[in-house]
Amino acid sequence: MILLIGGCIEPYEFVINDGSPVLVVEGFISDASYDETLEYPSDGRYFYVKLSYTSDVTNRRGAAVTGATVTLEREGGSTWVYSERQEGKYLLLDNGFKALADSRYRLVIELANGEQYESEWEAMPSINPVPVGRVSFEETKELAYKYVGQEEVIREVQGIDLKIGLPDNKTQNSIYYLWKFEPTWMFKAPLHPPVNETCWISSDVYLSGFVLHEDNVGGYDKKLFFIETVGNERFLWDFSLLVKQFIVNKGYYQFMSDIQEQTNSSLSDALPYNLQSNIKAKGGVRVNGYFAVVKERATRWYFSQRDLSYTLKNSIEEYCLNPLTDKGPLCWDCMAYGSGNPSEEPPVWWDK
């Protein structure tokens, strides 16, 4: 019971005829600098480029690509060089850098083996910044697959629909939205130890998907997703979600839509083939990915089970207080929480 199930979605897999590894490129820039993302509030976000290879036979990502030179170019001559801070992840370590509305940019990559790649020139969508609407929720129920014993059955589960308000669209054109999410929640060790009783948990897996939406009129609440509350230990105390809103070009929207259709809405370790990439290799080597220039805004949503009309049962506490059970370290130490990254210190922006 206290191992706590994570929110990971099983990656999509498929067989391909050509088993040669393919370079996968993931990266974007926006009109929000690192310093500006601190004001969301958040821990801050540097722009990054992630390089990896798909493995043979299936399109599952394999080894990280290290030792590459990754450069961002602005049309007209300015350049910025990314620094590799993790294996295969290259950061643009400039606190004040952000994309400008009247400029075009491209990504240039040279691997350690001499292979070269570059993106097409990209610019931000040519519309005014769109503010982030109010985040709200509605109590509801949905049907979901559950295991009863060892049998998978359909059961009605209780939870909430998370929604975001869209402003009126007066552009007479489609606005292409993309939302991503960063959750943080509080967890308390049930047996009230003298140390490590309360932790704050972050996760790169829970709610790691994305939501796309093409809007033509605005002025309504858009459902983002359903969250199960009953039996979800993340909602026993305080919960916060950073909702990041991106306005993207049609090409990037279509690229992400193709991923969504083939991977069950998850940014998993598997990527579809035959995507309309805007990155090309010099010499005909295969590459998959997209470099995007987007408009970015964000808002932080706080939630507590006190906001619900019903009380959530703390099954972990019941387990730990039961004298007949074998108690694991999680009963005494919140740092033993396994479905995320626990910290004894709250984030600097936490105000609950």
Residues 306 and 271 in one domain: no
- Does 336 map to a domain? yes
Residues 222 and 180 in one domain: yes
Helix (H) or strand (E) segment spanning residue 140:
strand 135-148
- Does 290 map to a domain? yes
pLDDT given for residue 251 in this prediction: 95
Residues 186 and 212 in one domain: yes
Residues 59 and 116 in one domain: yes
Torsion of CA 279, 178, 47, 120, to 10 degrees: 20
Residues 174 and 193 in one domain: yes
- Does 153 map to a domain? yes
Residues 42 and 117 in one domain: yes
pLDDT digits (tens, 9 = 90+) for 19-44: 578 899 999 999 999 999 999 999 99
74 backbone φψ class: left, alpha, beta (φ>0; ψ -120 to 50): beta
Residues 326 and 184 in one domain: yes
Report long-range pairs for 325-331 (Cβ below 8 Å, ≥24 apart): 327/191, 328/2, 330/2, 330/4, 330/189, 331/2, 331/189, 331/190, 331/191
Domains in the chain: how many in total?
2
pLDDT digits (tens, 9 = 90+) for 128-157: 888 999 999 999 999 888 887 778 888 899
As a whole number, the mean pLDDT across the chain is: 88
Helix (H, G, I), strand (E, B) or coil at 65: coil
Q: How confident is the model at residue 272 (pLDDT cuts 50, 70, 90)?
A: low
Rounded CA separation 279/281 (Å): 7
Residues 322 and 269 in one domain: no
Phi then psi for residue 46, to 5 deg, are: -85, 150
Amino acid symbol at 235? F
Buried b (16+ CB within 10 A) or exposed e, 293-321: bbbbbbbbbebebeebeeebebebbebbe
Sheet holding 135-148, edge to edge: 135-148, 151-166, 220-228
Q: How confident is the model at residue 264 (pLDDT cuts 50, 70, 90)?
A: low
- Does 191 map to a domain? yes
pLDDT digits (tens, 9 = 90+) for 110-129: 999 999 999 999 999 999 88
Amino acid symbol at 196? N
Residue 275 has pLDDT above 80, yes or no: no
Residues 172 and 79 in one domain: no
Rounded CA separation 257/294 (Å): 16
pLDDT given for residue 276 in this prediction: 83
Joined together, the tokens standing for residue 299 give: 């808002």
Phi then psi for residue 259, to 5 deg, are: -60, -45
Helix (H, G, I), strand (E, B) or coil at 6: coil
pLDDT digits (tens, 9 = 90+) for 183-198: 999 999 998 777 789 9
pLDDT digits (tens, 9 = 90+) for 201-234: 999 999 999 999 999 999 999 999 999 999 999 9
- Does 229 map to a domain? yes
User: Residue ranges of the alpha helices (H) in 147-277?
Assistant: 250-263
Residues 338 and 196 in one domain: yes
- Does 15 map to a domain? no
- Does 10 map to a domain? no
Which domain covers residue 201, as residue numbers?
135-245+300-343
Rounded CA separation 183/241 (Å): 4
Residues 279 and 326 in one domain: no
* Neighbour count for residue 22 (Cβ, 10 Å): 21
- Does 5 map to a domain? no
pLDDT given for residue 261 in this prediction: 83
Rounded CA separation 271/53 (Å): 11
Residues 206 and 332 in one domain: yes
User: Residue ranges of the alpha helices (H) in the chain?
Assistant: 34-38, 250-263, 315-321
Max Cα-Cα span within the chain: 72
